[in-house]
Structure 1
Amino acid sequence: MELPRRRGKSLSYQYHLQEKYQDKDKQVDKGVKANYSSNAFCHSCDSNWMIFDGATGETICTNCGTVITDRPTILEGGPGSIESFGNSVSLAFPDKGLSTVITSANIDASGSILNHDQIQNVNKIRYLDKVSNNNRTQIRNLKNAFVTMAAIRDKLTLTDPVMERAAYYYRKTLQNKLIKGRSIREMVVASIYASCKEMEVPRTLCEICDAANADPIFAGKCYRTMARELRLSPLIVDSTRYISKVADSACVSQKTYRRAVEMLDIVKKHAVSYGKDPKALATAVLYAACIKENEPKVSQAKIAAAGSISVVTLRKRFSDILRIIPRDTNRCA
């Protein structure tokens, strides 16, 4: 880093400042190591020069900037340490990701092959470890629950924070012995539904039940029991979050979608929207926006099916919206 020479300062002082700034740049780049790899190469530019960032665990090509490998790291000795690698700790695992896994390879830490007596002792240790993990009722319950939770997550594309919160709620129900006499699948659905409401994720109980192949009525009972015993007070999901979902299902234009968002902001400020289902309200506002913008091939049945509500509910909410936003006279509903 070159610095301009200042008047009144000696040349040695200028060199001192230059070395100072160079040391500062080296401290910023601490943890990033450049090396030449003969095995790994970039698939974009076929370069063998890589940079490994110890803070993020990424191997980056120095030529084009492509990330070659990306793996999670557990850093123990600071940002520049790469002593250990592994999965992160999560409540969505039965053992929270803290258990020790005994491999099936019959070798020791130095790579030497074990003899016959040592192999028998290791097999006994493996058997005892397997029995101790599967012999407890709570561990078996968590394994079955988290397998179901992972399947629901893949079908509904839920995020990691939502699943972490759902796993926390399920562990609390298991700790308070609320799972006795109830189905594991329905309690998992109730936990995910409570997590979605807390995180303001627009997922209904019926959608989660369809993904888990569970009974909505019994899942609703489990959710009410969980909310009562754990004293949950989740917020109501904002109706604005449902508009994009319903608009995509109904295949309306972007202009109509923006008009619906503007109309919904006006409707939410009025007392008519108080106590109404946010999904039904968003669907009715979208239908009103379709009429305002003369959206072609739009019917009440199509919009109601996109919003997963009945036509009767759509008509009731639409009549409430007409009190605030009058309908155009050149188009009938």
Structure 2
Amino acid sequence: MSTSAGVWEVVPTWHGRRPMRMRARIAAGFLACLLAGTWAAPPASAAEGDDAVRVMTITDERIVESSGLAVSRRHPGVLYTHNDSSGRAEIFAVGPDGRTRAVIRLAGAGARDWEGMAAGVDERGRPALYVADIGDNLGGAWPYVTVYRVPEPARLRDQTLRATAFRFKYADGPRNAETFMINPRTNRLYVASKLLAGGVYEAPARLRTTGFNTLRRIGSAPAMATDGAFSPDGRTLVIRTYWSAQVYAFDDRAEDKLDPLARVDLPRQEQGESITYAADGRSLLAGSEGSAQPVWRVPLPGRTLPAPTATPAPDTAAERDRPDNRNVGLALVIGIALALGYGVLRRRS
């Protein structure tokens, strides 16, 4: 992501006083992590745990609770974000200089407690933006949650787009969540709950706009998960908390789809609630709620980096069931070699 001179900065600081809401969340986080036995003090600075650099500062005064981030598929260097609870149903397109390029308003959508967003495609494969109204601070007050989808505009300008709504229920009952992800290989949706023993939930492969879609638990999530994202190649995913992030290998074909790979320290932030992968998949972009908050680029450990030839590719059920021609060819070669060897042995005998 290109930035002007003077934007890059290396040691993060904690800006200003934390609001009362953040103090409550921090207290809850401390208690949850202590009870779970997973508490680790937040890094004192970027220099102690990582080489984070500031890539931009979001300057729009309307963006005071940036709770989700998504990298644009159509506009290089552009990030999408949105406000948290009780805001308007709108998405902000932010350029590399931190200034808002466009505001996309969602017609037919509510904004009860938007907590995350991701870039994906629609049913015809066209770039789309998904926003997740999945927050439930009372932990079960809402019988269902909603994800809204709008097309990603080809031209960045203020506009209103009609939203498609998908309603969801958890198979094991309502819960609070702030983490929303889309696997770019399958366009499948995932949610991670924000609990002491959080879980990762998978949506159906095909979503319905009538009735409800069921979210089913497929694995565990860190305590106090605040956001997450899939890598551009779909090989890994990241789930963050207020202080650090956990990277997982993801294999949709495996019985255990999530395999922990590495823990990544994050810079101190006023209220760290957003994360996504950079477009090249080699680093993370971490944001925070609060006014005039920076977005940090955090490099990924070597074992979590994408393979040199890794590219996003469809991963449909039909393709998963299709026989691997390379394996068939290898078996044929081995079979011929064994037959020839058997013939030579018979002639010698």
The answer to whether the superposition gives a TM-score over 0.5 is no
Please give the TM-score of this superposition, normalised by the length of structure 2.
0.24
Give the strand-richer structure, 1 or 2: 2
Mark the structure with the bigger radius of gyration: 1
